[in-house]
Structure 1
Amino acid sequence: MKIDDSIFARYQAGKCSAAEQLLVERWLDQLDRFPEPVDTEMLTLLENLDSKMPFIKKRRRQFGWKWLAAASIIVMLTTTVYIYWGQRVEQGRYASIDAIHAPIKSNAIVVLENNTEYDLDKLKRNDTLNTGNYRIVRTQDDEIIYLTDPAQQSKIVYNTIRTKTGGTAHVQLADGTKVWLNTNSELRYPISFGAEIREVALRGEGYFEVAKQERAGRRVPFFVRGNTQTIQVLGTKFNADFTSNNETALLEGAVAFSNQGSSLEQTKKDRFSVRIRPNQVYDGRKIIEARDISRYIDWKEGYFDLNDLNVGQLSRKLSAWYGVEIRVDNSLAQVRLFGRVRRDKSLKEVLDLLGQVHPMNYTMKNNYIYIK
């Protein structure tokens, strides 16, 4: 049987015979042995296929043009199985899976020092919230910044930004440090830092770009404090995941760790016995060399990176983002995935994309979604 563009078109539409499907997949597996194409029509077809499915991205080997074809129609699940994915939706919340959309709001609040809460979605771009002693501004880029009265900066005043399900937030601290918060996370921080130390408390997950600050020729230390771990920052870019994953991924600079939790304004000294360098990840027990450090900040860039992810791990990401409870059959939890999907898609769109690269059907019954 000959490989031609009509077979690719049928494959993309899911209309191939079993023999044609096997032929295409075997051809893709052997792409690295083939010479460069001279058929411009075939190359155009492969590029068009890829543009239809831009979320597919496999990193294990690089084939130039050859991977355009494989990237467009690669099988995302490495094991051929029937999937049962029980997804329990909050009673009465959704009439059907079509109603489960990606969040369109920040779903975040700021808590002032007197415990007053403000919904950040009510603070429009370029608007200002005047608290009396300082002002909170939401910029055109959706960043939260503070304008403070110098007379008030001698006193340490704490605010908290808290994201809810499907929420994210971006705040610039008084020293110029930028922090992005993932969903279901919390950052407690002073609106102005003291002269001797900079410190914030994190619950959940956040990405940090810490500004360098010196006083009298000495670098002012920066600490990220969690319940079970403390990070000493040495001027850097990193992602701190203080959820059950407990992973800190370093993109630039250096960080050190104390495997003990700490609180703001504590007096005891921590011992920072572990230090990592860029492209390394520390999980509280061991240091891991990351093949692709950017996958740890996929949430910040607006997509789910599925590479080296299994179904169980993906289910937790989807549950936190779409606000639904997802249960995965134990036999499927370790099935590996590849590719990436934008987080602005509805849950139905995500499932449809998965269905284009691996045959599956899904139905919703009794507030569960069944995929098989």
Structure 2
Amino acid sequence: MSENDFSYLVHDEQFINYCLQRNAADVQYWEERLRQDPMLAREAAALKPLVIALAAASQQQEARQQWQLLQQQLGSATVPTPRKKTIAWYRIPAAAAVLALLLWGVYLLTRPAPLPTPTAVNTTTQDIPAGGNKATLTLANGSRIVLDDTAEGTVASQGGVSIHKNSTGQLTYTITSNNQSTDTGYNTIQTPKGGQYRVNLPDGSRVWLNAATSLTFPAAFGAGRRTVSLNGEAYFEVAAMPNAQPFTVKANDFTIDVLGTQFNIMAYADEKNSRTTLLTGAVRVTKGDVGKVLQPGQEAITGSGIQVRDADTEAAVAWKNGMTVFSDADIHSIMRQIARWYDVDIVYQGEIPQRQFTGKIPRNANVSKVLKILELSNIHFTIDGRKIIVTP
């Protein structure tokens, strides 16, 4: 356990008594201690709602296993504090598990950053950092540019179009000549597992690419329909054109037609269904001879057919806004997201419990923090290099 990791407090009896105001001596002890330690006071304020939720839930009688797992994960190492005792929480039922999961995610999100202190290297603990701005651009002539290794500035020019990279993981196409070629060819930007990138298309439309995603598009759009092809997941902000020039996205075996709008498409090959979520404007999703028009706040689930339903728009675009969000997601769906963002392989051993997860955590968190949240539901994880082993 890190010197600045205070998560052990969730099973410290004195701290629990302080949070629940049920022992005058412990309350006095902790009030004095927090007055003397501002960092600890901030951590305690973040952890207090979690402790209260756990105390309420533990009164319900179910098996003890789940919170014993939490005790193991949050640290077997002891922290020297006077009169310290620990409590093993009882397993909480499903509804309370969701609340505790959310509170623990909020704690991880809001806890103050630790002060930089010298730490010893622990060779027995493995962790994997989050992904970042990484992508490869393939030009119409077949040349490839690794964008994360390329300096800021103009990276290429083709047919009267300039391609510029900035420092924040953004690529911009700018028409530099009124006499640009009518056929500039197609470019492809591709993010690897563990990568993300943003591209501003030559018509002014903006596209955010999630991990393991490719987008193919003309270096300059002509006078007709604007058409791009997507494999993976991307968020689009489509620029409206004066002549109402349509914008079409081809993804897997369906298309999305739009004039000017904001929407997200999730169309990974390893997902059973694709998902188109509309934030503003209107789009038409077509598969074969069937077409459905979406209104803002709706999503189209495309599999054997097209199903339209109300959407959780915040969850759909959370990745673009720097968060990882689970909304009633099963473990296999979550682990596919983890595999793409952290560039890892997932191995399942044994019969994994079927549970639904709801929670959120910053997208830049190391994978261990995500797994620590999931382990609240009686599932184990082992990190072995770039492989994560999932066990009951």
Alignment partner of 1:147 is 2:144: no
Q: 1:77-113, CA deviations, whole angstroms, 9 ceiling, x for partnerless residues?
A: xxxxxxxxxxxxxxxxxx9762422124x22100000
| Residues 237 and 261, structure 2, Cα contact 8 Å, conserved in 1 | yes
| 1:50–1:118 CA distance, 2 compared to 1 (3 A) | farther
Per the alignment, in what secondary structure is the counterpart of residue 308 of structure 1? strand
State the AA in 1 paired with 2:250: R
Alignment partner of 1:273 is 2:291: yes
Quote the Cα distance in structure 2 between the aligned partners of 1:242 and 1:329: 27
Q: Aligned pairs, how many?
A: 296
Tell me by how many angstroms 1:203 deviates: 1.0
Quote the Cα distance in structure 2 between the aligned partners of 1:51 and 1:201: 46
Alignment partner of 1:203 is 2:223: no
| Residues 202 and 224, structure 1, Cα contact 8 Å, conserved in 2 | yes
What's the counterpart of residue 282 of structure 1?
A: 300
Quote the Cα distance in structure 2 between the aligned partners of 1:303 and 1:137: 27
State the AA in 2 paired with 1:274: K
Tell me by how many angstroms 1:347 deviates: 1.5
Q: 1:105-138, CA deviations, whole angstroms, 9 ceiling, x for partnerless residues?
A: x22100000111100112334x211345442111
| 1:99–1:159 CA distance, 2 compared to 1 (3 A) | same
Alignment partner of 1:172 is 2:200: yes
TM-score (norm 2): 0.65
What's the counterpart of residue 130 of structure 1?
A: 156
| 1:209–1:74 CA distance, 2 compared to 1 (3 A) | closer
What's the counterpart of residue 117 of structure 1?
A: 144
Tell me by how many angstroms 1:278 deviates: 0.9
| 1:354–1:152 CA distance, 2 compared to 1 (3 A) | same
Quote the Cα distance in structure 1 between the aligned partners of 2:276 and 2:169: 25
Tell me by how many angstroms 1:45 deviates: 8.8
| Residues 97 and 348, structure 1, Cα contact 8 Å, conserved in 2 | no
Quote the Cα distance in structure 2 between the aligned partners of 1:184 and 1:74: 25
Tell me by how many angstroms 1:47 deviates: 4.6
Alignment partner of 1:48 is 2:31: no
Task: Tell me whether 297-306 or 325-334 shows the greater mean CA deviation.
Answer: 325-334
| 1:339–1:156 CA distance, 2 compared to 1 (3 A) | same
| 1:141–1:69 CA distance, 2 compared to 1 (3 A) | same
Percent identity over paired residues: 29
Quote the Cα distance in structure 1 between the aligned partners of 2:99 and 2:127: 33
What's the counterpart of residue 115 of structure 2?
A: none
What's the counterpart of residue 242 of structure 1?
A: 267
Unaligned runs of 5+ in 2: 1-5, 21-34, 36-41, 52-97, 107-122
What's the counterpart of residue 339 of structure 1?
A: 359
Tell me by how many angstroms 1:329 deviates: 5.8
TM-score (norm 1): 0.69
Q: CA RMSD in A?
A: 3.7
Quote the Cα distance in structure 1 between the aligned partners of 2:9 and 2:377: 11
From 317, 323, 331, give the equivalent of 1:303: 323
Unaligned runs of 5+ in 1: 1-8, 25-40, 54-66, 76-94, 261-270
State the AA in 1 paired with 2:149: K
Tell me by how many angstroms 1:304 deviates: 1.2
Tell me by how many angstroms 1:161 deviates: 0.3
Q: Which has the higher contact order (CA 8 A, sep 6+)?
A: 1
Quote the Cα distance in structure 1 between the aligned partners of 2:384 and 2:209: 34
Quote the Cα distance in structure 2 between the aligned partners of 1:69 and 1:182: 29
| Residues 130 and 136, structure 1, Cα contact 8 Å, conserved in 2 | yes
| Residues 224 and 245, structure 2, Cα contact 8 Å, conserved in 1 | yes
What's the counterpart of residue 10 of structure 2?
A: 13
Quote the Cα distance in structure 2 between the aligned partners of 1:207 and 1:333: 32
Tell me by how many angstroms 1:280 deviates: 0.8
Quote the Cα distance in structure 2 between the aligned partners of 1:124 and 1:113: 21
Spell out the pairing of 1:184-263 with structure 2 (5 A cutoff): 184-215=212-243, 219-243=244-268, 244=271, 245-260=273-288
| 1:131–1:47 CA distance, 2 compared to 1 (3 A) | same
Tell me by how many angstroms 1:225 deviates: 1.0
| Residues 310 and 333, structure 1, Cα contact 8 Å, conserved in 2 | no
| 1:195–1:294 CA distance, 2 compared to 1 (3 A) | same
Spell out the pairing of 1:348-363 with structure 2 (5 A cutoff): 348-354=368-374, 362-363=381-382
State the AA in 2 paired with 1:14: H
Tell me by how many angstroms 1:12 deviates: 4.5
Tell me by how many angstroms 1:51 deviates: 9.5
Quote the Cα distance in structure 1 between the aligned partners of 2:7 and 2:156: 60
Per the alignment, in what secondary structure is the counterpart of residue 316 of structure 1? helix
Quote the Cα distance in structure 2 between the aligned partners of 1:196 and 1:74: 47
Tell me by how many angstroms 1:157 deviates: 2.2
Q: 1:272-313, CA deviations, whole angstroms, 9 ceiling, x for partnerless residues?
A: 6211111111112211112x2110112111221022112111
State the AA in 2 paired with 1:116: S
Quote the Cα distance in structure 2 between the aligned partners of 1:183 and 1:316: 11
State the AA in 1 paired with 2:258: V
Tell me by how many angstroms 1:48 deviates: 2.9
Quote the Cα distance in structure 2 between the aligned partners of 1:152 and 1:129: 18
State the AA in 2 paired with 1:227: N
From 62, 78, 103, give the equivalent of 1:72: 103
| 1:331–1:281 CA distance, 2 compared to 1 (3 A) | farther
Per the alignment, in what secondary structure is the counterpart of residue 126 of structure 2? helix
Tell me by how many angstroms 1:170 deviates: 0.4
Quote the Cα distance in structure 1 between the aligned partners of 2:193 and 2:350: 25
Alignment partner of 1:293 is 2:313: yes
| Residues 50 and 72, structure 1, Cα contact 8 Å, conserved in 2 | no
| 1:194–1:272 CA distance, 2 compared to 1 (3 A) | farther
State the AA in 1 paired with 2:103: S
| 1:252–1:15 CA distance, 2 compared to 1 (3 A) | same
Tell me by how many angstroms 1:332 deviates: 3.4
